[in-house]
Structure 1
Amino acid sequence: MVECDDAAAQASQALYRKVAYDFMLELVKVPGGEEARAQLRRQAEWIAVLSAISGEIKESHDSIAKRTDRARHFLADPKNELVAIDPPLPLPLDPSVLLTGVVPEETIVFKSSLHPIKVVFRTTAGRKYPILFKTGDDLRQDQLVIQIITLMDQLLQKENLDLKLSPYKILATSTTAGLSQFVPSTTFQSLSSRYRTNPALAYLKQNNPDARGPLGIRKEALDTFVKSCAGYCVITYILGVGDRHLDNLLLAPDGHFFHADFGFILGRDPKPFAPAMKLTKEMVDCMGGSGSEHYRQFKQYCFLAYSALRKNSNLILNLFSLMVDANIPDIRLEPDKAVLKVKERFHLELNEEEAIRHLERIIDDNLNALVPVVIDKLHELVQAFRA
C-alpha cells in the first residue's frame, strides 16, 4: 500500500495498485476472506489515527511537556477507538501480537527533530508492547537496513559467530511515516548526562552488578556488550551508515548495544569529516580502555565479522543491486553507484590479512580522532537548545 501511494514512482505505482486490487478481489472469495479484508481495513484505520496525532505533534511549536500532554489526551479520547480495541487487532508490525487497547498515560514524545511518539499498547497475552511512531521520514530505508542487518546476523551465526545483534522490527506505513518496535534502552547521550565517569560501565554495573565479574559486571552482560559493539561497528561501516551521534547509539540494560535511525547510508552524512566507523570513547571505556583484554577481544570479533561478511559479499551486493530501482532515498540519489559504494567497503581486491589490517587502521584512526568528539558535543548543545 505504501508503494501504491508513492507518487514519485509513477512507473511502478500502477503495477502495485493493480496487484493490491487483484489481491483484495481474490481475498473476499476465499473462506474467511471477508473477515480478513475487514481486519486489514481496521489496521489501516488504526495507522491513520496514529498518523494524524504524530503529524500534529511534529508540526506544533509547543514544549515537549505540552506535546506529550496533547498526545496522551488524543489517544485517551474514546472517539479515536484506541482505549479499547475490540475485537483485538493484529499489530501490523508483528501480526502475532494482538492489541486490546492503548495505555495513554505511558505515552512519551521524544525531543529529536521529528519528535517521534512512543505509544504503549496492551496485548491479549497480558503484556505491554511499546511502539515508536514517526512522521517526516521515509522509513523504507530504515526497513531495508534492518532487513540487511538481520540477514548479516544470520550469515554470522552460520559461521558460528553470535554477536548478540538485536535488530528491532520496523514498518513504513507511508512514504513519510512509519512505526518501529520500541526496545527499552538508554541513549549514550542520556547516559553521559546521568553518570559523570565511564557512563556505559556505570549503567551496566547498576543493572548487572557482580563483585566477582570483570569490571564489577556480570560476565554475560559485558560479553554481550563487547560482541554487539563489534557487530554493529562492522555492519554500519560496510553499509556506510551516517549521522552517528550519541542520541542514536543505544544500550539495553542487559548489555545489548545497537544503532537506531538509518536516515543516511552508503557514506552519506549531514556532518563534515564524519568517521568511517562510529566507535566512541564511552564504548571503549566500558570495555576497560584501549589497553584492556576486553578491547582486544572486541577487535578480534570485528576481524572475524568482517572476514565472514566478506566471504558472503556476493549475496549482500546482489541484494543491493535488486534494490537499485526501489524508491530508497540514498540509493535513488546515485543508483548506478549504490552497489559500488558497498563493494568498496568490502575491499575485495585485498587478501584476508590485508583486509583485516585495513579494518584495524580504521578502528585505530577512529579511536584517536578529535572531530567526532567535537561533533557529538555540538549535537548535545543543539538538543539542549531544542528542549
Structure 2
Amino acid sequence: LDKPTIASIPKPPTYKVIVKTGDDLRQDQLVIMMIQLMDRLLKRGTLDLCLRPYSIIATSETTGLVEFVEGSAPISAILANHGNSILQYFRAAAPLKGTKYGVKPEVMNAYLRSCAGYCVITYLLGVGDRHLDNIMLLPTGHFFHIDFGFIFGRDPKPLPPAFRLTREMVDGMGGTDSPEYKRFCSLACQAFNLLRKSAGLVLNLLHLMSDAGIEDLSNNPAADAEGVVAKVEERFR
C-alpha cells in the first residue's frame, strides 16, 4: 500500500462579529447581498469601486451576526476628532509628503471610488435614514454604509435626499472645483450606466424575494411588493 499523504490545511481567517438580538437582520442581509451583486457586476464591466460589503447572517427573525469591520469609524466621529475635516483624518492615517493633499494616492483613490459606488447603490436601492453615524470610513479610504432599516424609498424624514453626499464628504475630495470631485462624478456616472445594463437581473432577484418577509419589500406601507419593485425599476431609468 502507498503511504498516506498528510495534507496541511491552512488556518481559516477569524472575524470579529457583533451579536444582535431583538433586530430582524434579514433586510440588512438582503441589502448586503445586493451590494455584493452590484460589486460583481461593476467589476465584470472593469470598474472596481473599492466597495466594502461586510458580512451579515440573520439566524432568526430576531437574532443574527454582523461582521465588525476593524478600524472603521463613523463619519461623525471622524469629523469631531479631526477638525471637521476628512482630509485631516487621511493626513493623520495615511500621510505622504509631496502629494497634493498630503495623503497617499491609493487612499484618495479608494475614497473617491467607494463614495461614487455607494452613492449610486444607495440611490438605486432607495436607502433611507442616512446620517453621519451610519456612514463609515476606514483609514485605507474605503467608505461604506451600515444599518439598512429603511430601504426602497422609506425614510423617517419627510423630505429625504436621493442619496447622502454632504459638504464634508465633498471637502474630503478637495471641494467641488477639484479634479478629484470631477473624477468622483465621472465614476458615479460610469457605475450608474453599467448597473442599468443589468437592471433586469436586480429586479428579478427582488421579485424572487417578495415573499421572504423582508419588511420594506413585503410589508411596505406605501406599496405592495410589486409596487416597490416598480419604484426600484424607475430609479434605473
TM-score (norm 1): 0.56
Match in the other structure for 1:345: 235
Structure with higher helix content: 1
Stretches of structure 1 lacking an aligned partner (at least 5 in a row): 1-95, 98-123, 348-387
Q: Do the aligned residues in 2 keep the contact of 1:320 with 1:338 (CA within 8 Å)? A: no
Stretches of structure 2 lacking an aligned partner (at least 5 in a row): 1-8
How far residue 338 of structure 1 moved from its aligned partner, in angstroms, is 2.0
Q: Do the aligned residues in 2 keep the contact of 1:324 with 1:338 (CA within 8 Å)? A: no
Aligned AA (1:342): V
**Cα distance in structure 1, aligned partners of 2:57 and 2:168:** 31
TM-score (norm 2): 0.91
Q: Among residues 42, 50, 61, which one is paired with 1:156 in the alignment? A: 42
How far residue 336 of structure 1 moved from its aligned partner, in angstroms, is 2.2
Aligned residues: 224
Moved over 6 A (4+): none
How far residue 213 of structure 1 moved from its aligned partner, in angstroms, is 2.2
Q: Among residues 200, 204, 212, which one is paired with 1:314 in the alignment? A: 200
Does residue 323 of structure 1 match 2:209? yes
The structure whose Rg is larger is 1
Root-mean-square deviation over aligned CA pairs? 1.6
How far residue 129 of structure 1 moved from its aligned partner, in angstroms, is 2.8
Aligned AA (2:45): E
Does residue 248 of structure 1 match 2:138? no
SS state of the match for residue 129, structure 1?
Answer: coil
**Cα distance in structure 1, aligned partners of 2:105 and 2:230:** 40
Aligned AA (1:189): S
Q: Do the aligned residues in 1 keep the contact of 2:84 with 2:168 (CA within 8 Å)? A: no
Does residue 221 of structure 1 match 2:107? yes
1:86-130 superposed Cα distances (whole Å, 9 cap, x missing partner):
xxxxxxxxxx99xxxxxxxxxxxxxxxxxxxxxxxxxx66x7632
Aligned AA (1:255): G
Q: Which has the higher contact order (CA 8 A, sep 6+)?
A: 2
Q: Do the aligned residues in 2 keep the contact of 1:243 with 1:264 (CA within 8 Å)? A: yes
Aligned AA (1:236): T
**Cα distance in structure 2, aligned partners of 1:327 and 1:133:** 21
SS state of the match for residue 16, structure 2?
Answer: strand
Q: Do the aligned residues in 1 keep the contact of 2:78 with 2:84 (CA within 8 Å)? A: no
Identical counterparts, % of pairs = 50
1:333-379 superposed Cα distances (whole Å, 9 cap, x missing partner):
221212101101111xxxxxxxxxxxxxxxxxxxxxxxxxxxxxxxx
1:60-106 superposed Cα distances (whole Å, 9 cap, x missing partner):
xxxxxxxxxxxxxxxxxxxxxxxxxxxxxxxxxxxx99xxxxxxxxx
Q: Do the aligned residues in 2 keep the contact of 1:138 with 1:177 (CA within 8 Å)? A: yes
> What is the correspondence of 1:26-45 to structure 2 with a 5 Å cutoff?
none
> What is the correspondence of 1:158-197 to structure 2 with a 5 Å cutoff?
158-184=44-70, 185-197=72-84
Match in the other structure for 1:206: 92
